[in-house]
Amino acid sequence: MLVAFLLIAAIPDWVPARWMSGDPKTLDLITQTPINCVLLEKTSWSEVFAQQAAKRGIATLGVIHPGGDPLEAARKAVSQKLSGVVLEGDFDSTSRDRVRKVLADSRITMVELTSRDRIRFDGDAPVIGTYQGLWPGVEDENAADAKSAPSGAPWIDTNTGFLRYAHASTNKPIWIANQPPPKANLNVTRYLQAIGDAAMTGAHWVVALDPDFNQRLLAGDPAALKDWLRIGQNLRFYEEHKDWRAARPHSQLALVEDASSGALLSGGILDMIAVKHTPVLPVPVPKLHSDSMRDAKMAVNVDPGSLNDHQKEILKAFTRAGGTLLTGPPGWKFPEAKPGQITLEKADLDKLDEIWKELNSMTGRKNLGARLFNVSTMLSNLLESPDGKQVILQLVNYSDYPVENITVHLLGKFQHARLYRPEAAPKDLSPYEVEDGTGVDVDNMSALATLVLE
């Protein structure tokens, strides 16, 4: 019982992964990585596996899907000594509450992985999670429905806009449990991109291997084992720097949004801003107050109709203090999402064209925190430490080859710069003065890197 209690107490530090085996021998593979929480399908539930995992500090969560009797499944999870269950999918409230009651009586936890539009940021769940996500990467330019970024660069499929909004909406751990595309045989770089796509926002991607990779790994294939260790190395990179998750966005541009203005979708305005490497501060409408705008000089209010009178006064005070505010044209409304939709359709992107042009005109070539060069296949997230002494630039490369000769211009004067990469020791760089602050050059990076300046 003490071991189970300690596992649940560690929920904020869980590093989750789907695991397709109930064989206790496979725990040796898990312990080669920072993964300490596995999601098991019902065919892999095993009391022996759960007990052996607990001895190694690994939590076991049984996955329950809609259909069948979720209450019976929850009772089976309890009898198998699992650490908890995951309700993956959209359950009716009655079933969900009955499962929660059974688990509470047994003192084991319940994680919900819902559709994005059913996420409750203000609830008492131990984890905020969804099963819906894009598989990150540079979109195939030759595809019939391929899009391009506003800058003309390749379009990057990413969950970061949604995850940045989620991180601004809650202090709970955030999991995104998207799985590899069907029938995909992915190279290891694509998994590293999925790790970074979530981690650069402070979230966790629930590691999930494609069937071929999973089969080869469990069979002991040397190439699969090598790739698995590299996945572990990149997971460890973020676990060794957990303090980065507590950092707040560092930007002079605020984006006021909520679910009705596309905050739960990928490919919306926040992603359109981020793809140009303009730092942005997401401000959820429920959390809009004077302090949330204190560092901003510019703001975008995506849907003015969603604000109450008090919130409208906050933005009026922002403009009276010299801030620049952009809102949609009169009568303009964000395209309404269909149930289950997680991306904007191409026609909806066209509807955003007018507000995007105004936003691009407002921000122009201004440095609102950082400007990056030679980064067409990359995304970034600019943060600052809680004490304000460090600026942290998270970088993810979505191509399958390294990027060289990256240049960063940051507002402010910095004396020290250090580059962190999973595959190399930290490297001190030489910052130099530029017109709008401090410049730093990064010779090269593969999939993931973080630049920390003081």
Evaluate whether residue 263 is within a structural domain. yes
Residues 336 and 278 in one domain: yes
Confidence of residue 306 (pLDDT cuts 50, 70, 90): confident
Domain termination site, one of 309, 343, 363: 363
CB 154 within 8 A of CB 376: yes
User: Can you tell me the mean pLDDT for 43-49?
Assistant: 96
Tell me how far apart the alpha carbons of residues 112 and 441 are, in angstroms, rounded to a whole number. Answer: 42
Residues 342 and 378 in one domain: no
Residues 215 and 317 in one domain: no
Give the H/E segment covering residue 197: helix 188-199
Evaluate whether residue 324 is within a structural domain. yes
Evaluate whether residue 270 is within a structural domain. yes
> Which pLDDT does position 153 carry in this prediction?
61
CATH, residue 444: 2.60.40.1180
Tell me how far apart the alpha carbons of residues 158 and 346 are, in angstroms, rounded to a whole number. Answer: 16
Residues 99 and 224 in one domain: yes
If you average pLDDT over every residue of the chain, what do you get?
A: 90
> Which pLDDT does position 142 carry in this prediction?
46
Residues 289 and 407 in one domain: no
> Which pLDDT does position 76 carry in this prediction?
96
Residues 309 and 437 in one domain: no
Report pLDDT digits (tens) over 169-211.
999 999 999 999 998 889 999 999 999 999 999 999 999 999 9
Residues 300 and 408 in one domain: no
Where residue 331 falls (left for φ over 0; alpha for ψ -120 to 50; beta otherwise) is left
Which is nearest to 120 in space by CA: 169, 173, 57, 71? 169
Q: One-letter amino acid identity for 13? A: D
Residues 394 and 351 in one domain: no
Domain termination site, one of 205, 240, 275: 240
Report pLDDT digits (tens) over 81-94.
999 999 999 999 99
Structure tokens at 301: 């209010």
- Within 10 A of 423 (CB to CB), how many other CB atoms are there? 14
> Which pLDDT does position 275 carry in this prediction?
84
Evaluate whether residue 419 is within a structural domain. yes
- Within 247-394, residue ranges assigned H as helices are 269-274, 309-320, 346-351, 353-363
Of the given ranges (102-106, 242-246, 292-296, 363-367), which has the lowest mean pLDDT? 363-367
302 three-class SS = coil
Indicate if the pLDDT at residue 363 is higher than 80.
no
**Contacts for 240 with CB less than 8 Å, ≥ 6 apart:** none
Which is nearest to 119 in space by CA: 87, 145, 146? 87
CB 438 within 8 A of CB 444: no
Tell me how far apart the alpha carbons of residues 137 and 128 are, in angstroms, rounded to a whole number. Answer: 24
Q: Is the whole model's pTM more than 0.75, yes or no?
A: yes
Domain termination site, one of 363, 381, 401: 363
CB 163 within 8 A of CB 203: yes
CB 432 within 8 A of CB 438: yes
Evaluate whether residue 28 is within a structural domain. yes
> Which pLDDT does position 140 carry in this prediction?
64
Indicate if the pLDDT at residue 143 is higher than 50.
no
Structure tokens at 233: 């190395």
Query: Which residues form the domain of 420?
Result: 370-453
Rg (CA), the chain: 22
Q: Give the DSSP letter of residue 181.
A: P
> Which pLDDT does position 59 carry in this prediction?
96
Indicate if the pLDDT at residue 148 is higher than 80.
no
Indicate if the pLDDT at residue 152 is higher than 50.
yes
Residues 137 and 271 in one domain: no
CB 158 within 8 A of CB 200: no
Give the H/E segment covering residue 172: none
Residues 232 and 100 in one domain: yes
Q: One-letter amino acid identity for 262? A: G
Evaluate whether residue 245 is within a structural domain. no
Which is nearest to 195 in space by CA: 155, 246, 235? 235
User: Can you tell me the mean pLDDT for 305-310?
Assistant: 87
Indicate if the pLDDT at residue 107 is higher than 50.
yes
- Cβ neighbourhood burial of 336 (10 Å; 0-12, 13-18, 19+): exposed
- Beta strands 16-19 and 37-40 are parallel
Tell me how far apart the alpha carbons of residues 198 and 272 are, in angstroms, rounded to a whole number. Answer: 17
Residue with tokens 């000769």: 405
Partner residues linked to 35 by β-bridges? none
Evaluate whether residue 182 is within a structural domain. yes
CATH, residue 284: 3.40.50
> Which pLDDT does position 144 carry in this prediction?
43
> Which pLDDT does position 171 carry in this prediction?
93
Report pLDDT digits (tens) over 209-228.
999 999 999 999 999 999 99
- Beta strands 253-257 and 298-301 are parallel
- Helix axis angle for 188-199 and 222-239, nearest 10°, is 10
Evaluate whether residue 246 is within a structural domain. no
Residues 172 and 288 in one domain: no
> Which pLDDT does position 146 carry in this prediction?
47
CATH, residue 132: 3.20.20.70
**Total domains in the fold of the chain:** 3
57 three-class SS = coil
- Name the percent of the chain lying above pLDDT 90: 73
Residues 353 and 375 in one domain: no
- Within 10 A of 183 (CB to CB), how many other CB atoms are there? 8
Partner residues linked to 39 by β-bridges? 18, 61
